[in-house]
Amino acid sequence: MDTATLSPSPTPASGAEHAHVLTLACTNRMGIVHAVSGALLQVGADITESQQYDSPESGDFFMRVEFVTPARREEVAAALEPVREEFGMRMGLWDAGHRMRTLVMCSKDGHTLNDLLFQQRAGTLPIEIPVVVSNHLELQSLASFYGVPFIHVPVSADPDSRDSKAAAEDRLRGLIAEYDIELVVLARYMQILSDELCRDLAGMAINIHHSFLPSFKGARPYHQAHERGVKLIGATAHYVTADLDEGPIIAQSVQPVTHAQTAADFVARGRDVEGSTLVQAVRWHAQHRVLADGRRTVVFS
């Protein structure tokens, strides 16, 4: 999501064209696009993609720009700083080729984890997964298959246990710092995060859930849906907040099902749509295409 100031990003070596992504949000008023374009012109930028949106709900203006320039990031940031100050912008500037360092959390169901690891290896997802964290051991072999370190962080219901929820979350914070993590993905991680951790991860944690909430809660939601004759199944990927499964939505997908399909067919179709929806949300986030507009998101897809 958007940042309050120009965010740090690895700077490419000098002597070549540098590709950048710029995002911004501010109260809408005349002259924003002109001012941004003028600042980019100062550093010889060639704009390759530009998208903008004026939100009627919040009155804010949102913009995402991709461009190439012979200037280094520091020079681009310096040219943009007066514009940021003049309009009170929340602004981010990133190296377009940077692969976002992503920690994936999982439990026992590996379909979404596999989708993320496969697409990372294939080079179709602009992230780097340096570590997988799980409260169970079942998916250790899957992470090993892709050559990604797997760390077991058990969670006990006993608050006095060495593996208590609070201790596990402190361990997670340590791993985020140790591995220089920029994004946390809950790939069917079956633990509810504390409100404090949700606040710590605001804007940098993505979760996935099936589309049946709040109708079919708890275990075996696809079997419940099959019993009720549901005709559409789908998934929602959203940012993690203290309001369980109610964070700002990034991506959603649905697929039709019929009375002729079994409950097992529903489960298989649900896994497919959950995996593809989570991958899409992670891709958009890693490409800096998602900006916050209150409880909603602006997605420049």
Residues with active-site annotation: 245
Q: 58: helix, coil or strand? A: coil
Q: Assess contact for 134 and 107: CB atoms under 8 A.
A: yes
Instruction: Kindly give the pairing relationship between strand 183-186 and strand 205-210.
Output: parallel
Q: Which residue has the tokens 């409260």?
A: 135
- 100-106 vs 183-186, strand pairing mode: parallel
How crowded is the C-beta side of 134, counted as CA atoms within 13 Å?
20
**Beta pairing partners, 104:** 132, 185
Query: 122: Cβ–Cβ under 8 A, 6 or more apart, which residues?
Result: none
Closest residue by Cα to residue 185 from 97, 250, 94, 96: 250
Dist. CA 161–CA 171, nearest whole Å:
14
For residue 46, CA distances in Å to 148, 175, 179, 262, 266 come to: 38, 39, 34, 54, 48
By residue count, the chain amounts to 301
Q: Terminal CA-to-CA distance of the chain, rounded, Å?
A: 14
Alpha carbon distance 165, 156 (integer Å): 6
How far does CA 210 lie from the centroid of its chain? Answer: 17
- Contact indicator for 27, 59 with CB cutoff of 8 Å: yes
Task: Please give the DSSP secondary-structure letter assigned to residue 192.
Answer: P
